[in-house]
Amino acid sequence: MEEAQSVAAAAGSTLREPGILGTAAGASLDSPGSAAVIVYAERRDAAVPQTIKGLRTQVIVTDAAAVVRGAAPTMPALEPGIHLSAASLASASAVARSVAPGLMSDPAIFGVGVTQSRDNPAEAALLVLVDMGRTPQSMPATIGGLRVQYLRLHRFHTTRERDADTQGVPPNACSLKGLIPQH
């Protein structure tokens, strides 16, 4: 966090793009546990780099008055669902298809997809599913020009064999067979 504070202070004086209101240190939503440089912007489409000196950026849309009063939001506005154009998602999907084999060669990673970045909801992101009990070989902030959102999960799988008729044997705990729908 100290590094994020230092980088945010330096970035505040160098980021002079139109619509950028200021910077602060914070935490990434795309990579929980990682520091980020919060960039306050007037518009969702402000030109904010994905990283500054190796740290992720997080874009929070607000107005100058809220920044001056110290009343700016502490995280981006997150709405349920994905709110990106079909072209943006198609482009991100092409990147995901090209990088997935390399990422999946890491035993800690068990899935790659596309989602909306939580650090900057105006951008698509690669969604990388990481086994909670393992550490990936690397966790870059960006790949192929996209932000990367890491989601740590316990592996879970079900197979058809678990749902197969077991001739009187009670179903496996992981089986979907024998479940009673709730109304």
Helix then strand count (H, E) for the chain reads 4, 8
Contacts of 163 (CB under 8 A, 6+ apart): 171, 175, 176, 177
Is residue 160 situated within a structural domain?
no
Overall number of domains in the chain:
2
17 vs 31, higher pLDDT? 31
- 38-65 per-position pLDDT tens digit: 999 998 888 889 998 888 999 999 999 9
Note whether 90 and 147 are same-domain residues. yes
- 115-149 per-position pLDDT tens digit: 999 999 999 999 999 999 999 999 999 999 999 99
Is residue 96 situated within a structural domain?
yes
Question: Order of strands, edge to edge, in the sheet holding 146-153?
Answer: 109-116, 124-131, 146-153, 142-143
Note whether 63 and 102 are same-domain residues. no
**Domain encompassing residue 96:** 86-153
Note whether 92 and 129 are same-domain residues. yes
Is residue 6 situated within a structural domain?
yes
Note whether 48 and 19 are same-domain residues. yes
Cα 30 to the chain's mean position, in Å? Answer: 3
Report the C-alpha gap between 117 and 124 in whole angstroms.
6
Report the C-alpha gap between 138 and 65 in whole angstroms.
40
Q: Encode 119-150: b = buried (16+ Cβ within 10 Å), e = exposed.
A: bbbbbbbbbbbbbeeeebeebebebeebbbbb
Last residue of a domain, one of 39, 69, 99: 69
Per the structure block, which two tokens stand in for 102? 């390399």
Contacts of 6 (CB under 8 A, 6+ apart): none
Q: Is the pTM of this model over 0.85?
A: no
- Give me the phi and psi of 51, to 5 degrees please: -140, 155
